[in-house]
Structure 1
């Protein structure tokens, strides 16, 4: 084969690959437009002219799941430091003054599998707002004096959480459920790590995860996608690609399956009302995306006032509330049955909760009508969520970080397709007969009078 022919074949192959890249458009709702910049930054523009505003958000695949013990809580601290000094606004006073000039509403959040930052302002400020975000995300300045002020703020959030009996139950449950990897499920962090954080540690986080190829920029509002894409490329196009996939270079360790069921009773004087929960290691989008959909539908079924769970616990006065939750996760997520029991019928409530759990997988545990009602609620909930333009970027970035664009686009339709067999498979795979963590937080006096530790034991 001649060199000329080899060159032609190579060029043809490159052209085919390029065509494939162009064609590899994700499925998105009507009015959503996607583009991937040469540096790897994904940009989505959502055209929504209901109000003359624009919201911009940058989401990063960072959060608790990227944190070993030595960095626990620092993704959250990093989020707080985002709103401090940067190259264009070298102190927080100038940063805040600029937000006022833009008339911006702004905030950020840190969760298990996502950190996001957003600004909402007048549509005419889109270019200025994108430049403002660019300075903060790419060129932060971690001043020691700023960190000295912000560490107590972040740690204060942790301390406020600890004053809640619900959080204490949640924390103890997570310790048992995730073992040595608990820091990868707890965005709030660890006091000592938060209070000793340094600018150098902030740079470590930035240099691991804050790259265009690990980020999503969403522009939503009264904008035109062609103009928004041009602005995004002009402002963010020279943001250097990391040259590596952060989640391949710094892999998330697998969450070990729970070996056996555990139970604990935590006595606390702040628990004037006892709380009880049961938790299982649930599905992961990475390995069982179908189960994540079935999990949502089942959670809504048992949340209905007519459900057997509600009738057995709430209607009969054994509890004031009972609910099952599962948060869609790329990696293993938790399924939790949370109950606020009647303190005077604590043992009866516990016994009935165990009885209900044993019946989850039975064909008659819910009716066809209840399943249809749950699907209807999910459908209406999604319709309501679509009504507020400023909330759309956050919804989208959640799917992007923990699942995929296609998953988020199809989720409402897929809820309607869930069958009894899908729900039975989910329950039998992750709940029925599977190791669980049962927790009860209760004040010492009630614990003594009820002998809670004698009956609140691990399921066999």
Structure 2
């Protein structure tokens, strides 16, 4: 019965929001610094409770990588009032679901409940913030969980270390030089006291935003928030890293060996601006032109027509402090990596010298309109967007204005961004090779 009800709720969630271009929300701060955002939509009997902490892998120190991702797991262990192993049991017994995820820049926890159980979500997140139990048994248990995740998703996954290979070459000073999941020897070497200190420093109300969205009664929700989160003490002010990389002025050449692959890969990468810069939006469009779908330029040329590549992609990996623009290709029929590199470069140079067609530009605008609507077509999607806009941009109302940024990008802007950022002397040329070739 619970599964059936939950299925209906999720189905309803996917019908919510697609109609709306304007998201009406309310935001305020508690005395302890917790930022609160409320979004009411009574279309479906669903409520989302989420907390985003402004802590990710970039807040770690050398030799202690992986802490933020580790805490994504550790803070489900239990609290003073939620027994060890009971977290998920409480969620499912109330007809809900929950999850969490971590990036280099933030950690995000959320619960989706029938709206009559929204108080349970608020109580649980307040418990996670105020009363987490961080002891040796929890650390040891989650250490094994994270190790297994790393084995499955990274170490034993073909091409699972692409980001590691790129990051360690693109960044020499900034903590973006290590991966979000980190190194297991760093977690093994950490003491219980170090984990407790990390929690005390970052998982505090003044380093977080609480979003409650969906079928809610705002006056009642405000009282619950005050009751559950108001008593949580403010932490010390969190200062985000401000580490500048030296510009890349000549091409970096590197190799990385992966024991899980048989076919090599060629990677070109470029350091680009923060996700908060307008140019980051333009580079999103550049990547769409180059490799989004079978009609995209790189796919059509290298995979479909010339049959030089098995796979090809261009990715604008935007982050809070810097972005990384990555192109990659896997050769077909023993195509030399140098040939793929030349073909990809040719398409980039074409973007730098020629305006895209009006038809291509119109298609591009439609793609971004659809993406924006899809991202905010559910209550859960809106909650996530509101948290992101506040945390990274300090402007929650970007949820209603961001599409205009894409709409105002011109064909000339696309050409200029390609000229400014995608140049050989600013790039990493990385051969990602089978271990057998070492």
Shared fold per TM-score greater than 0.5: yes
TM-superposed deviation, 1:334: 0.6
Residues 350 and 430 of structure 1: CA distance in aligned 2, closer, same or farther (over 3 Å): closer
Aligned-pair CA distance for 1:424: 2.6
Structure 1 residue 182 displacement after superposition = 4.7
Correspondence for 1:293 among 262, 278, 281: 281
Aligned residues of 1:277 and 1:338 also touching (Cα < 8 A): yes
TM-score, normalised by the number of residues in structure 1: 0.83
| Alpha-carbon distance, 1:421 to partner | 2.6
Task: Specify whether residues 165 and 343 from structure 1 end up closer, same or farther in structure 2 by C-alpha distance, changes over 3 A only.
Answer: farther
Which of 192, 202, 220 in structure 1 is aligned with 2:195?
A: 202
Q: Distance in 1 between matches of 2:398 and 2:103?
A: 19
- CA drift at 1:209: 1.6
Choose from 66, 73, 97 the match for 1:80: 73
- CA shift for structure 1 position 63: 0.3
Q: What's 1:111 paired with?
A: 103
- Where structure 1 has 5 or more consecutive residues not aligned to the other structure, the ranges are 1-27, 449-460
For 1:455, the equivalent position in structure 2 comes to none
Q: Which aligned pairs between 1:179-194 and structure 2 lie closer than 5 A?
A: 179-182=172-175, 185-194=178-187
Following superposition, the deviation at residue 58 of structure 1 comes to: 0.4
Q: Structure 2: give runs of 5+ residues left out of the alignment.
A: 1-20
**CA 1:237 to 1:353, structure 2 compared with 1: closer, same or farther past 3 Å?**
same
Cα distance in 2, alignment partners of residues 30 and 310 from structure 1: 36
TM-score by length of 2: 0.87
- Equivalents in 2 of 1:228, 1:235: separation in Å? 10
Moved over 6 A (4+): none
Please point out which of 404, 407, 417 is paired with 1:413. 404
CA positional deviation for 1:129 = 2.0
Deviation readout 1:3-33 (Å, 9 max, x if unpaired): xxxxxxxxxxxxxxxxxxxxxxxxx942322
Which has the larger helix fraction?
A: 1
1:222 Cα deviation from its structure 2 partner? 1.0
- Compute the displacement of 1:444 (Å): 5.8
Aligned with 1:357 (options 342, 348, 353): 348
C-alpha deviation, 1:307, in angstroms: 4.0
Taking the aligned partners of 1:152 and 1:343, their CA distance within structure 2 comes to: 41
Aligned positions, number: 413
Measured after TM superposition, the shift of residue 373 of structure 1 is: 0.6
- Pair 187,268 (structure 1): closer, same or farther in 2 beyond 3 Å: closer
1:327 alignment partner, one of 309, 317, 330: 317
Q: Is the 8 A contact 1:64 1:112 kept in 2?
A: yes
1:146-190 Cα deviation digits (max 9, x unpaired): 211110111222222122232223211211101243555521111
CA deviations over 1:397-453 (Å, ceiling 9, x no partner):
2333333424443211211110123223322222124421122223366x59xxxxx
Verify the 8 A CA contact 1:361 1:427 in the aligned structure 2. yes
Q: Pick from 302, 307, 311: which aligns with 2:300?
A: 311
Match of 1:396 in 2: 386
Give the aligned partner of residue 234 of structure 2: 241
Tell me whether 1:280 sits opposite 2:270 in the alignment: yes
Alignment of 1:64-213 (within 5 A): 64-89=57-82, 91-160=83-152, 161-182=154-175, 185-213=178-206
Q: 2:250 aligns with which of 254, 260, 269?
A: 260
Q: Which of these two proteins has the greater Rg computed from alpha carbons? A: 1
Q: Partners in 2 of 1:77 and 1:311 — Cα distance?
A: 41
Task: Determine the C-alpha separation between the residues in 2 that align with 1:188 and 1:231.
Answer: 35
Residue 378 in structure 1 maps to residue 346 in structure 2: no
Alpha-carbon distance, 1:343 to partner:
4.2
Rounded Cα–Cα distance in structure 1 between residues aligned with 2:42 and 2:291:
35
Q: 1:387/1:205 Cα in 2 relative to 1: closer, same or farther (>3 Å)?
A: same
Of residues 148-157 and 334-343 in structure 1, the stretch that sits farther from structure 2 once superposed is 334-343
Whole-Å separation in 2 of the counterparts to 1:185 and 1:359: 33
Looking at structure 2, the residues matched to 182 and 102 of structure 1 have their Cα atoms a distance apart, in angstroms, of: 40
